[in-house]
Structure 1
């Protein structure tokens, strides 16, 4: 029997390729939380990430959010526009540099942030419960290292 290249089994196991595994784990582990911010608030991923950066760090510029969140400025700009339309954030022009805007959550945005933060904390606890406390701590440390946060 003649063996064709297409018959040959490739010994590369995609299921063990770290970037693939990380992506699959990120998608799977975020689905339940995604349903909350999407269904309850009609937010996209970039919008909740901008909301959480402002809620967590306070007033920031879009450039600062981009640097921290590793998001493209176009996506941030769209998210800021949507959040402003919903009256969750306000923009203030910088007096010294008119090209720069300072972004901050409005009281409505702060309320949404606090509610979603509580849900996120509960969800994080639920995910972490899949592991021993040592495993969860090790996983967080390894993921922070891969993300360039350590």
Structure 2
């Protein structure tokens, strides 16, 4: 009887796994704050973060910018609308397209969370010198472009 060999996926050296674990660990650090203080899920905060940067974005814009599932984004946007953190209007030219903006209350929440997120990022990047930070951004851009070519 011959021994069947199986491919071995060394997770500790598998880039998608490492990036995911790192992302989850970093996200968890700030997620506890916005969950405990504001009752926001990760998906809800990411939607708010997009709207804080790109007021007037649609649900589809949020989906594309965050690479999150369309249904998850829809649920997050609806929860934010129900809580009054986000306002929705409809595009006059295309009534199917919604235009989303942070409400005054939503902007206040964003204004409280965003500096914390930036402080966390600065703390993380402080372990790299300027050349390493520049190289990191270049490498991330290169990987992002390669991923787009692979699926495009």
TM-score (normalised: structure 2) = 0.84
Q: CA RMSD in A?
A: 2.4
Q: Which runs of 5+ in 1 are unaligned?
A: none
2:72 pairs with 75, 79, 89, which one? 75
Q: Which runs of 5+ in 2 are unaligned?
A: none
Name the CA distance, whole Å, in 2 between partners of 1:142 and 1:34. Answer: 26
Q: Who is 2:25 aligned against?
A: 28
Shift of 1:5: 4.8
Task: Work out which of the two has the higher radius of gyration on C-alpha atoms and give 1 or 2.
Answer: 1
User: Which range moves more in the overlay, 131-140 or 71-80?
Assistant: 131-140
Name the CA distance, whole Å, in 2 between partners of 1:63 and 1:134. Answer: 36
Name the CA distance, whole Å, in 2 between partners of 1:88 and 1:115. Answer: 13
Q: Who is 1:48 aligned against?
A: 45
Q: Who is 1:123 aligned against?
A: 120
- Number of residues of Structure 1 aligned to a counterpart in Structure 2: 146
Shift of 1:145: 2.9
Shift of 1:144: 3.1
Name the CA distance, whole Å, in 2 between partners of 1:24 and 1:147. Answer: 17
What whole-Å deviation, never above 9, does each CA across 1:98-138 have from its counterpart, x for those lacking one? 22211111011111111111111111111111222221222
1:12–1:100 distance in 2 versus 1, CA, 3 Å: closer
